[in-house]
Amino acid sequence: MIIVMKPGIPAEEELRVKSLMEGKGFQIHESRGANFTLFGVVGDTAAFDMNQLRVYDCIDKVMRVQEPYKRANRMFHPEDSIVDVCGVKVGGKQITVMAGPCSVETREQIIGVAEDVKQMGAAILRGGAFKPRTSPYSFQGLQEIGLDLLKEAKAVTGLPIITEIMSADKIERFVEDVDVIQVGARNMQNFELLKELGKTDKPILLKRGLSATIEEWLMSAEYIMAGGNDSVILCERGIRTFENYTRNTLDLSAIPAVKKLSHLPVVVDPSHAAGMWWMVEPLAKAAVAVGADGLIIEVHNDPEHALCDGAQSLKPERFGRLMQDLKIIAGAVGREL
């Protein structure tokens, strides 16, 4: 349920309405803009008689929310949310690029790539320490050592770091050492993990599941936000379809769809979408053109010998050329890179 307050009403009138709803066991999610104040009422409101609210002169209107996700719903928060990552803004006019190798391999590799992508305009360093792999015999990442190397790369370059969490038992370490905690596609519906992440104050990048609908994706974001953590960034990384030429099928239509339904920022991962380095550039450009708030791109200084996903990684010099092209596209759609 959404309660729209009239503009310019006294604070005590707002408090009366909030107290009424909280007294009935509902949670109140406040959203304030330049000319409006909304109270998002969270809870089972089906049996609540909205006529009880119409007697308040300070209330402009009351609406029921049909979608099962509430906090992630744009009705609850009409203005776009901006997530702050150590001073880097994800959302709004600025387009944020996160770049780095699929997996952390050596100290020289991660620091070298970090220095390259920073010089070329990336704002956040990505790198996998723990790697979810389809085969148990594939490289699983350097794990704790990988986290240490990411911290070292951050110390050298100043770039905030994003890396993927695999299980709830690592949350304490991630909260201490990581600037954005990534939830991978396979864990999008690991609800116990999402609940625990909701108790943190760290930005969470939530990747869309391999076969998830947009509503399921937003409901997973709702799990995190229901725990109190509103710093959620959605990531479209391609979905599984009947097509097998590409690794996944990048659903660019999901970007404007999510932006209509939700206030959360949306970034796109063109690397995992296609699985081929030569498709990353056109897909990244298309994502910016249709309204993505950012990109997460795999960059490796020696992809031919990468321990993980070398085929979808850009070399630093190609990434640099892509960044120059993206600036032009961003300007054409009223954004900045």
- 197 and 292 share one domain: yes
- 142 and 261 share one domain: yes
Residue-wise pLDDT tens digits, 160-180: 999 999 999 999 999 999 999
- 274 and 142 share one domain: yes
Residue-wise pLDDT tens digits, 21-39: 988 888 888 888 777 888 9
Please give the tally of structural domains in the chain: 2
Domain around 42: 1-61
Widest CA span of the chain, in angstroms?
Answer: 70
- 127 and 251 share one domain: yes
| Last residue in a domain, options 35, 61, 87 | 61
Mean pLDDT across the chain, nearest whole number? 93
DSSP label at 239? B
CB atoms inside a 10 Å sphere around CB 216? 14
- 18 and 137 share one domain: no
pLDDT attached to residue 137: 64
- 12 and 91 share one domain: no
Residue 294 tokens, joined: 């950012």
Q: What is the mean pLDDT of residues 144-162?
A: 96
Q: Please check whether residue 66 lies inside any domain of the structure.
A: no
- 87 and 147 share one domain: yes
- 101 and 135 share one domain: yes
Residue-wise pLDDT tens digits, 215-267: 999 999 999 999 999 999 999 999 999 999 999 999 999 999 999 999 999 99
Instruction: Assess whether pLDDT exceeds 70 at residue 10.
Output: yes
CA distances from 328 to 94, 282, 283, 334 (A): 13, 13, 15, 10
Instruction: Assess whether pLDDT exceeds 90 at residue 204.
Output: yes
Q: What is the CATH number of the domain that holds 2?
A: 3.30.70.1140
The sign one gets for the Cα dihedral 226, 89, 290, 235 is: negative
Q: What is the CATH number of the domain that holds 220?
A: 3.20.20.70
- In this structure, the strands spanning 88-90 and 96-100 are unpaired
Question: Do residues 64 and 53 make contact, with C-beta atoms less than 8 angstroms apart?
Answer: no
Burial pattern 138-147, b for ≥16 Cβ within 10 A else e, equals ebbbbeeebb
- 6 and 126 share one domain: no
- 26 and 99 share one domain: no
- 16 and 131 share one domain: no
Q: Please check whether residue 112 lies inside any domain of the structure.
A: yes
> What is the distance between the alpha carbons of residues 268 and 288, in angstroms, rounded to a whole number?
9
User: Which residue type is seen at 135?
Assistant: S
- 50 and 130 share one domain: no
